[in-house]
Structure 1
């Protein structure tokens, strides 16, 4: 960009695009128990409609990331958003859970383009320190989706069924398509693209996989995502079936946690410039480990719901220090490979992270199961983080020489 600034509206649109995951799942979270009853399936099969979407998001990012390195950011982005809106309509008319799960898979594949391209655009424009702040800002914007979506879904359930919620997603998809078409410029000029065909495009991903730090941080992101997605997938059943909350009551709990996530994202933005993304990541993981194990203890002792909710809120807030800093550190050495490394991060976050909760829930969904699974994933993420820190810097893949457009000092001008 010639003026070396990024309009605030562009950052807001990028934040909305990274919200494809929450939008795809959170709007109909309050309706998930009703969906399983309407289709006559078990809770685990109902969760399959979420799992298939998460898998789609993971694979879609892995494909769309390298494609955006070769063809630029805009075309894959607009095609993916348009397809996501069409699949939302199709989901509304799914006759059974198998068809719905298949359509959700395709919906996730399409939505993955929005998530992966938004991250790649940030890396196109900012260096590591500024990128960590921008990713925090995107997470703050993205956190509004879990605030608005469950509340909207819960209220829409008064006047429609779960099918009507997918029609609402269609309208949201059309709005996002218009915003992206009008507000997102091309950030990867032709001179910096991969032009040698599918083999060279795949080679970008191979180069990323040789970077032990990037792969390690991708694992941290996946395990951190597993902690969050365990709450997302098990939460409706734990809160509604286990603790007697109504769909509307659960939507308010979910929204309160999302507001905490947004507030903590703002805190991370303020502190990361002083402490650095690596230290903020360690702090976030330490908080997550402490709060999840405390929650596991509270669940085993059958302490009041208020205690569980307080610890759950702290755990969700810690995600705001884990995800943006992990993402910035993983992408640090990859400029023209930003799409490829973003795809790897998406595969880990939505593939590894998205499968943990539903797989564990096959043995039954209880408060203790949810808490213990979150504690195990948080602990594993902390262990991997320490292992990554011990990888010598010289063993990492050679840095991509392509410079970002904006240094750390440019963020304040561009986002204000």
Structure 2
């Protein structure tokens, strides 16, 4: 194992890069009701816009990184992220925030996508799953701290300062990238024209094993984003939770993810990734089904959300690491960047489905969020079971 694989800085920087999606969204979740009141419009569209840009841009960056390496796209991405953050901070309308969130996402997507690709470059399948679990434990700090920081800033300043803070974080990450090694040497880079590199997506879509694992984690993330997008309104508006306490309730779920990620580091050395994925997705489905029933009969109050969502969210500590590692292990080195891009595009772009469904079918109750979650966690379990059955 080379020095950079053991390096603490390598681990921490990759964790920070992969946390960009969560941080860019979770930190301003407490501000969404306030933004909507001040700017008008639907604040959920700021998440939709971000995830749209995030999903599409990855499909472009992936093949490019297969040809020119991982570091240069990371530098460019951080510059774009900073510009987008400043644009959000200066916005005076919801439509302007949506536009700059899309721009912000074009840069932000490079970090998580190439973080996974760099893990794929450096580790074998089971080691990659262990590494992804370790990274999940560290990067979980962002979604825990994000709502607390955002809620704290709202107590002393306007929501604009949340985006100024993101701009500063982007500058710090730009400087940190200098410490990363280039994990894709020249001899392993894709050859031929860039257009032919983009054609690799056709190969990936035809790779049944890769797509089953990818769809399993994608469907799970539709459910996860339904909760992420809907939880500020459920907790703050529906149940009357104070803005500064929202971060605590949201952070409970991330603690569950961290705990399961720590456990998963041990499990992947003893069990097949496909089996772990099946078991964890079934547990998540049972928890989401309990939430659905309680929401349907309107029982349990706020605990009908807290408890089943804690169990469902915790399973992400196993599902994301195992599905990502297994999917990327099913593709050759030369298209690992494209594979990570397609995986990330579907995984994180799935939030577009969640936010649009919540906006279109909003009922002012828990039921819309509940049926979206149980439906897509169920589909995630079906994909995991299908791959496991096929061996």
TM value normalised by structure 1: 0.90
Pairwise CA distance, 1:4? 7.4
Q: Following superposition, which runs of at least 4 residues in structure 1 exceed 4 angstroms of deviation? A: 1-4
Q: Hey, what's the Cα distance between the residues in 2 that align with 1:154 and 1:95?
A: 20
Q: Secondary structure at the residue paired with 2:6?
A: coil
Q: Hey, what's the Cα distance between the residues in 2 that align with 1:304 and 1:325?
A: 34
Unaligned runs of 5+ in 1: 393-416
**Is residue 369 of structure 1 aligned with residue 368 of structure 2?**
yes
**Is residue 252 of structure 1 aligned with residue 245 of structure 2?**
no
2:136 is matched with 139
Pairwise CA distance, 1:260? 1.6
Q: Hey, what's the Cα distance between the residues in 2 that align with 1:373 and 1:380?
A: 11
**Is residue 92 of structure 1 aligned with residue 89 of structure 2?**
yes
1:240 is matched with 236
Pairwise CA distance, 1:269? 1.2
1:277 to 273, 280, 289: 273
Q: Hey, what's the Cα distance between the residues in 1 that align with 2:123 and 2:188?
A: 16
2:326 is matched with 329
Contact 1:357 1:373 in 2 (8 A): no
1:194 is matched with 190
2:16 is matched with 16
Contact 2:225 2:355 in 1 (8 A): yes
2:216 to 210, 213, 220: 220
Q: Hey, what's the Cα distance between the residues in 1 that align with 2:149 and 2:193?
A: 44
Pairwise CA distance, 1:37? 0.3
Which residues in structure 2 correspond to 1:13-412 (within 5 Å)? 13-41=13-41, 45-181=42-178, 183-301=179-297, 302-334=299-331, 335-364=333-362, 365-391=364-390
Cα 1:140–1:2 shift into 2, 3 Å: closer
Q: Hey, what's the Cα distance between the residues in 2 that align with 1:60 and 1:142?
A: 22
TM value normalised by structure 2: 0.96
Q: Hey, what's the Cα distance between the residues in 2 that align with 1:230 and 1:333?
A: 29
Q: Hey, what's the Cα distance between the residues in 2 that align with 1:110 and 1:267?
A: 32
Pairwise CA distance, 1:336? 2.2
Pairwise CA distance, 1:3? 4.7
Pairwise CA distance, 1:72? 0.2
Contact 2:4 2:10 in 1 (8 A): no
Q: Hey, what's the Cα distance between the residues in 2 that align with 1:275 and 1:23?
A: 32
Contact 1:50 1:233 in 2 (8 A): yes
Q: Hey, what's the Cα distance between the residues in 1 that align with 2:33 and 2:193?
A: 46
Pairwise CA distance, 1:303? 1.2
Q: Hey, what's the Cα distance between the residues in 2 that align with 1:11 and 1:366?
A: 41
Deviations 1:348-383 (A, max 9, x none): 112234322432332215212212211111001111
The number of residues matched between the two structures is 388
Pairwise CA distance, 1:270? 1.6
Contact 2:45 2:355 in 1 (8 A): no
CA RMSD of aligned residues (A): 1.5
Q: Hey, what's the Cα distance between the residues in 2 that align with 1:286 and 1:5?
A: 33
